[in-house]
């Protein structure tokens, strides 16, 4: 396949801009550099209401944002983790994805503002994810949700956290309905063939991923399954999954390897490789028509997953 014309246009525009030097770039400078990108994209669907909350987290107050669809309750719940390489982004950067998931999947989306590296390196984000799920299980009814129907979701670094949380929930006996992983990071300890074939010139580069991983891990063992869920010893007993990969993405192969690992363990895993696309395209509503199609697709997968549980 060839690059999607919209992706190609974006890459051509980015090529005209000065490229940051990741050898000297600080996370703080990276956050400032990417902070204005939300102004370029569509805000997403209109929810009935959204509200911010704070809960007690392992590192202090943990912010959540709740998105309510126009649907009768109790609502199925989707715990969402944003991407950003573990060092950037937050509730606002992924507001559009959360809105679309809430409206199209008829689910109450709870987005988590987990701690970022390097100020809070691994496994701080994992601890925040576990705390958010524990709170959601206890307080589902208080917010109009159904504790029997909880899914985890995320994109990129957030996909990593969603996959890790699914494994952590299994060890605690906390049942989940589904895991939605959009171009997830699944292996911080290795580099697949797509790092070589797609590691330059397609928005996310192999060098950027090394920079992200270095700040996130802070010297920790990259083979720890809480950092690299693909390296888990056992995939049995995990919830069914929907996994989205992008054809021109260095993370493509590790996301697809995760789907294969689930399938080999007997776990239903639906894999969609989006042809012609680059990493991060789902956030680019208004710029990438494929973002709309993908959100429709994953919302349908969530609806089907939630419909399998007793009400």
> Which domain does 58 fall in, by range?
5-307
Q: Are 235 and 267 in contact (CB under 8 A)?
A: yes
Q: What is the mean pLDDT of residues 49-64?
A: 98
Radius of gyration of the chain (CA): 18
Q: Are 233 and 178 in contact (CB under 8 A)?
A: no
Q: What is the mean pLDDT of residues 66-84?
A: 97
Location of structure tokens 């390296």: 231
Q: What is the mean pLDDT of residues 279-283?
A: 97
Q: How many domains does the chain have?
A: 1
Q: Which residues contact 252 (CB under 8 A, 6 or more apart)?
A: 183, 192, 194, 198, 245, 246, 273
- Per annotation, catalytic residue among 156, 194, 228, 283: 156
The DSSP bridge pattern shows strands 178-182 and 241-248 to be parallel
> Is the model's pLDDT at 39 over the cut of 90?
no
> Is the model's pLDDT at 310 over the cut of 50?
no
- Tell me, what's the pLDDT at 85? 97
> Is the model's pLDDT at 309 over the cut of 70?
no
**Helix-helix angle 157-172:124-139, to 10 degrees:** 60
> Binning pLDDT at 50, 70 and 90, where does residue 21 land?
confident
- Tell me, what's the pLDDT at 287? 92
Distance CA 107, CA 104 (A): 8
Tell me the sheet residues that pair with 241. Answer: 179, 269
- Tell me, what's the pLDDT at 311? 39
- Tell me, what's the pLDDT at 38? 54
pLDDT in tens, 205-245: 999 999 999 999 999 999 999 999 999 999 999 999 999 99
- Tell me, what's the pLDDT at 41? 84
Please report, for the domain that includes residue 194, its CATH number. Answer: 3.40.50.1820
Separation of CA 225 from chain center: 17
194 belongs to the catalytic site: no
The whole-model pTM stands at 0.97
Q: Are 135 and 63 in contact (CB under 8 A)?
A: no
Distance CA 168, CA 53 (A): 24
């Amino acid at each position: 396949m060839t690059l999607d014309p919209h992706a190609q246009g974006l890459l051509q525009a980015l090529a005209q801009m000065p490229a940051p030097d990741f050898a000297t770039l600080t996370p703080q400078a990276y956050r400032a550099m990417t902070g204005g990108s939300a102004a370029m994209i569509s805000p997403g669907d209109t929810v009935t209401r959204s509200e911010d909350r704070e809960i007690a987290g392992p590192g202090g107050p943990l912010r959540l944002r709740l998105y309510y669809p126009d649907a009768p309750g109790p609502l199925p719940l989707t715990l969402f983790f944003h991407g950003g390489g573990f060092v950037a982004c937050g509730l606002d950067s992924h507001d559009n994805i959360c809105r679309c998931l809430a409206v199209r999947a008829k689910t109450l989306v709870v987005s988590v503002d987990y701690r970022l590296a390097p100020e809070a390196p691994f496994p701080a984000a994992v601890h925040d994810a576990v705390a958010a799920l524990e709170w959601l299980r206890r307080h589902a009814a208080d917010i109009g949700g159904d504790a029997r129907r909880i899914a985890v979701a995320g994109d990129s670094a957030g996909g990593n956290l969603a996959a890790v949380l699914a494994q952590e929930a299994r060890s605690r006996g906390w049942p989940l309905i589904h895991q939605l992983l959009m171009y997830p990071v699944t292996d911080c300890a290795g580099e697949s063939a797509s790092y070589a074939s797609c590691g330059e010139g397609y928005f996310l580069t192999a060098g950027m991923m090394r920079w992200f991983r270095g700040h996130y891990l802070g010297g920790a063992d990259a083979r720890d399954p809480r950092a690299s869920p693909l390296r888990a010893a056992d995939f049995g007993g995990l919830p069914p999954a929907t996994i989205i990969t992008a054809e021109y993405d260095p993370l493509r192969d590790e996301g697809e390897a995760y789907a294969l690992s689930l399938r080999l363990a007997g776990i239903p895993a639906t894999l969609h490789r989006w042809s012609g696309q680059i990493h991060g395209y789902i956030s680019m509503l208004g710029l990438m028509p494929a973002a709309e199609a993908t959100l429709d697709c994953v919302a349908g997968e969530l609806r089907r997953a939630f419909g399998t549980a007793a009400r």
